[in-house]
Each structure stands twice: as C-alpha cells, then as structure tokens.
C-alpha cells in the first residue's frame, strides 16, 4: 500500500485492500512510521505484520510492502517462554539438588513455587506420627515451616497426592472450600487453587498446593504443564532427601555403638582418648578403646586394641570384641583369663579374624595410680614420668584370635601424680610422612614427643600426640590411629575427692 506523508492511504493492491478495506483508517503504528527508520512491526486485524518501506523520491509518500509474521512472532514468543522455563527449571534443579536435607528441600520448593507459579504455595510431606510436615510461602516472603494436624481428605485430591496412589492429575479445587490451614495469614480472597502431586523416586514425596489471589488469572494449560515439570523435580529432590535421612538415621544408630567413647575421669584417675579413622569419610575403623568401671568399686579396666582389616568391616569386629570384653568384666582381675575367653570366641577355622590389644586395670592408690598391664601382640605402652623419662612397659603376649591358647605376661606400674601411661595403636608409630616425606613416625620420635609431655593433663597429651602424628602425615594416606592416656591427676583437690564409691568422681 502507498501512504502519503501524513499516513493517509493513497493506494492499495488487492491483498492490502482485504486488510484495510476502503474507508478504514490505516493503523497508527504504520501511519506514523517513517521510512527512514526502516522496517516496522505491528498488528492489523489481530495478525502480525512486518512493513518494509520503499520511499518515493519525488514526494513524502511511501510504498509499504506488508509481510505477515504472525507465526514467526508466535514462534519467537513461544521460544522465549520455553527458554525462560528451561532456565527456571535448571535453576530449580540446582537449587533443589544442593541439599539432601528434607526441610531445606521443602523450603526451596515452596519459595520457588511461590515466586514462579503462584501467589502462594504450600508444600506438604507425607505424615510422620499423624502430623504432616508442611512449608507455606507467600510470594516475596520467607518460607514458614509447620506441622499440620489435619485431615487431608478435606481437600479433594490431597490425600491421593500424599499417598501417591491412585495416580491423580493436578486437581482444581473450589477456592471457597479451601480449609483455613491452607490459607496463609493475611492472604486475602483466593481466586484459584490447584493441588499437584509431587511424584518421588518410586515413593510419594508429598503434594504441592498453589494458590492465586482473586483477580489474578487462573492457571492456563501451559502453566499446568510447567507446574507438573516443576513438581517432578521437586518431588525427586524431596524423596532423595527423605531416603538420605532414613539411611542416615540407620547409619547413625548403628554407628553410635561403634564410635569410640568420650573418656573422662573414672575412680579419681584421668582418662582421655582420641581416634582418627583411616578414611576421612568414616568415623569408625579397626582401632578401638574403652574404659569400664568394674564391680570392684575402685578399679576400672581400660582397653585399647586394633583388629585386622580396615573400614566398616573391621569396625563391626571391634564392636563384637568390645561387647565380649564388657561381658568378661567380672573376671578382669585375671587378664590372661579374659584374653583366653575372648580368644575362644574369635578362633574359628573358617575365618582369620584377629586382634591385638592392651588391657590395663587401673586403681587409684593415695595420690598415685596403680596399673596392671597386659599386652596381647600389641605395641607396649609408654610411661611418661614426672621428670620427662619415658619408659616402655615390659609386658608381652600373643595376639588374640590365632592360636588356641594365649600366653602373656602382665606388669604392674605405679604412676605418681602428673605421670601418664600412654596406650597407642601402630597407626601412630607407623605413620608415614614428615618434612622429607616417606619417613616413619616411629617409636623413638613418639618417645621424644612424650618426653616433652611430663606433667600434662591426659587430654592435652592425647591431643598433642594426635596433632603431631597428623602433621607428620600431612595429606598422605594413613591407618586408623588411636591413643589413650591414663594419668594420675596432679594437685591436691583430687585427692580430697578420691576414695569412696565410683559415682563421686565420674565427671
């Protein structure tokens, strides 16, 4: 069509006449367009057009060639929306996958849903003890965690969504019948509500309820499809988090029994222990220690040992040995008998499970401490005297679990106040590393370290030894390392406490 300088229609070909019938005015966007600006876009009769100008040289009039671009523009618009959604889904995925914590996953789901899908969102997880963990979030607000004590049957589709069965699509519910517990405080009148199941990894992860205020458009088909994609991701993340939590609670429960105990004062004697597992991903391994008060009120039995193997399997064996030793406590007056009974339970023609250990019966005597020590195939402990002398305990014996009978000699040692008996596993002395790399930490170095530790409290000594060994190792691989210090306390205040009944000095 040809327009004059004021945008009035001068001429039009046949097709253009169909668009702008004679008598109609040319749309503003075209009438006011200048040829100097090149191509322009606009709608005529609900369809999109691109207008290409050809200025006439002699006057202000311009011939505009119109090309319809409705489909192109729809495609471009659809592409933009899809790109936005893909970007959003990828943001959603990375936000959801960051944490394996169920509460955090629900927070993130509620926040993202309120931000991108609705004015408010409620995420509800399957019930735990008759309560439904839920997170409410209003757009631009913070997620609020609650535990709902409600009947999900009150909301059409919610019970099925939470159960994951029978399969249900997203359900529209009547805004007027929305129960109060789904209405965020001060939200105002609800315009539309949709309940979407959160499908998990083979288990139902929960339900997502989206709310829009009155006056906002209801959810269209594209938005519902997108909400389902969102729900699939959120559901997968939530059920992964739930599975992790379940596995973790099983692991924690089983591990609790195998973790080295926290040692403290027993019977007026200081005990301290420290443990470092060979694998940084694990907290347990093949070394173990325990301190048990015995029925004979003032004597306690300390044990430190090392089983063959590494990792969880070794840790399970330490659990068995620790339980057996605990049960054998009544005979702790006779170390050899304890070791032989334990040996009987371990010797087995079908397996080669063995362990080395030190038993120490510990008794406070006046200001000092009397120790009866027996080594079964284990590196002998060191005694750190008050003057910095370091002595090796002279007890020897076979390891447990190999021979039908154990032979071992016990030794008695007395500690004066401030003196320590240090039990350790070979993970310390056989630590490889040092400033030059590849050197053994060795017993001599341990002796030198201990010579500096005269008069130190038990926990300071074990920490010092573990620290120096750890620094010796650096980033290199290492074995399990366990250290226990048995120390006769310095200072007079402890003697005042010592003496009557184990309960009084157990910290």
Partner 1 sequence: MTPAEPTRTAPAHTEPTRTEQATAGHVERLWAAVCDRDEHTAAEVVTGAAAAGLAPESVLLDVIAAVQRRVGQEWADNRITVAQEHAATAINERALAALALTAPTPAPTLGTITVACVDGEWHALPARLLAEVLRLRGFRVDYLGAQVPAPHLITHLHRTGPDAVALSSSIATRLPSAHATITACQAAGTPVIAGGAAFGPDGRYARLLGADAWAPDARAAADRLARSPLNRPAGGHQPIDDLPHLADQEYTMVSRTSGQLVKAMLSGLEETIPAMRSYTEAQREYTAQDLAHIVDYLGTALYVDDADLFTGFLTWTAGILTARSVPARFLVPALDLLAAELRDFPRSTALLTAGRSALPARDVPGDHDR
Strand partners, 50: 41, 67
Measured distance CA(456)–CA(450) in Å, rounded: 10
**Residues, the chain:** 507
Residue 485: CB minimum distance to partner 1, A: 11
Q: 481 with 276: CB under 8 angstroms?
A: yes
**Whole-angstrom Cα Rg for the chain:** 39
Residue 490: CB minimum distance to partner 1, A: 6
Residue 114: CB minimum distance to partner 1, A: 15
Measured distance CA(425)–CA(481) in Å, rounded: 6
Residue 457: CB minimum distance to partner 1, A: 5
> In a 3-state reduction of DSSP, which class is residue 219?
coil
Residue 460: CB minimum distance to partner 1, A: 4
| Residue among 13 and 248 whose Cβ is closer to partner 1 | 248
Measured distance CA(248)–CA(244) in Å, rounded: 6
**Cβ-based neighbours of 122, under 8 Å, separated by 6 or more:** 110, 134, 135, 136, 137, 182, 184, 208, 209, 211
* Site for partner 1, rule CB under 8 A: 91, 94-95, 98-101, 103-104, 108, 241, 244-245, 248, 276, 280-281, 283, 434-438, 448-449, 452-453, 455-457, 459-461, 463-464, 467, 470, 490-491, 493
Residue 186: CB minimum distance to partner 1, A: 23
How far apart, in Å, are the Cα atoms of 170 and each of 153, 180, 228, 322, 408? 15, 20, 8, 55, 74
| Residue among 295 and 436 whose Cβ is closer to partner 1 | 436
Residue 190: CB minimum distance to partner 1, A: 29
Q: 339 with 397: CB under 8 angstroms?
A: yes
| Residue among 112 and 342 whose Cβ is closer to partner 1 | 112
Residue 45: CB minimum distance to partner 1, A: 45
Q: 271 with 461: CB under 8 angstroms?
A: no
| Residue among 54 and 98 whose Cβ is closer to partner 1 | 98
| Residue among 10 and 98 whose Cβ is closer to partner 1 | 98
Q: 372 with 410: CB under 8 angstroms?
A: yes
| Residue among 197 and 418 whose Cβ is closer to partner 1 | 418
| Residue among 211 and 494 whose Cβ is closer to partner 1 | 494
Residue 459: CB minimum distance to partner 1, A: 5
Closest alpha carbon to 301 in 310, 317, 290: 290
| Residue among 55 and 491 whose Cβ is closer to partner 1 | 491
For the chain, first and last CA: distance in Å? 99
Q: What is the DSSP string of 322-344?
A: HHHHHHTGGGTT-HHHHHHHHHH
| Residue among 181 and 244 whose Cβ is closer to partner 1 | 244
């Amino acid at each position: 069509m040809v327009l004059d300088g004021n945008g009035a229609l001068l001429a039009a070909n046949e097709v253009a006449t169909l668009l702008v019938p004679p008598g109609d005015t040319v749309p503003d966007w075209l009438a006011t367009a200048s040829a100097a600006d090149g191509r322009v876009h606009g709608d005529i009769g609900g369809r999109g057009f691109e207008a290409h100008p050809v200025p006439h040289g002699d006057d202000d009039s311009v011939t505009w060639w119109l090309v319809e671009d409705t489909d192109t523009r729809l495609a471009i618009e659809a592409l933009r929306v899809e790109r936005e959604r893909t970007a959003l889904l990828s943001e959603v995925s990375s936000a959801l996958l960051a944490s394996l914590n169920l509460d955090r996953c629900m927070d993130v789901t509620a926040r993202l849903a309120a931000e991108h899908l609705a004015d408010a969102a409620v995420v509800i997880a399957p019930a735990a003890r008759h309560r439904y963990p839920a997170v409410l979030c209003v757009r631009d607000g913070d997620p609020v965690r609650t535990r709902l004590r409600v009947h999900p049957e009150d909301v059409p589709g919610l019970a099925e969504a939470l159960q994951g069965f029978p399969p249900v699509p997203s359900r529209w519910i009547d805004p007027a019948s929305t129960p109060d517990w789904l209405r965020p405080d001060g939200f105002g009148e609800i315009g539309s509500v949709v309940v979407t199941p959160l499908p998990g990894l083979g288990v139902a992860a929960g339900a997502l309820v989206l709310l829009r205020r009155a006056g906002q458009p209801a959810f269209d088909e594209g938005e519902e499809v997108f909400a389902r994609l969102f729900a699939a991701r959120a559901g997968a993340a939530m059920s992964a988090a739930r599975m992790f939590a379940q596995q973790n609670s099983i692991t924690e429960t089983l591990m609790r029994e195998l973790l080295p105990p926290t040692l403290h004062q027993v019977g007026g004697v200081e005990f301290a222990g420290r443990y470092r597992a060979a694998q940084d991903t694990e907290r347990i391994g093949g070394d173990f220690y325990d301190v048990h008060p015995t029925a004979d009120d003032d004597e306690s039995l300390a044990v430190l040992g090392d089983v063959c193997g590494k990792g969880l399997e070794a840790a399970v064996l330490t659990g068995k040995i620790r339980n057996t030793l605990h049960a054998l406590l009544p005979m702790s007056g006779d170390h050899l008998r304890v070791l032989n009974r334990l040996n009987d339970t371990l010797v087995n023609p079908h397996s080669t499970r063995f362990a080395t250990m030190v038993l120490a019966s510990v008794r406070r005597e006046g200001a000092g401490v009397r120790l009866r020590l027996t080594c079964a195939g284990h590196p002998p402990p060191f005694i750190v005297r008050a003057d910095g002398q370091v002595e090796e305990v002279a007890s020897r014996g076979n390891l447990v679990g190999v021979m039908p009978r154990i032979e071992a000699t016990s030794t008695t040692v007395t500690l004066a106040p401030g003196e320590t008996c240090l039990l350790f596993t070979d993970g310390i002395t056989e630590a490889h590393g040092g400033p030059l790399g590849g050197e053994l930490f060795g017993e001599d170095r341990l002796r030198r370290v201990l010579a500096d530790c005269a008069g130190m409290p038990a926990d300071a000594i074990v920490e010092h030894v573990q620290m120096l060994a750890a620094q010796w190792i650096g980033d290199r691989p290492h074995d399990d390392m366990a250290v226990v210090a048995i120390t006769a306390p310095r200072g007079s205040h402890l003697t005042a406490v010592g003496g009557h009944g184990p309960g009084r000095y157990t910290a």
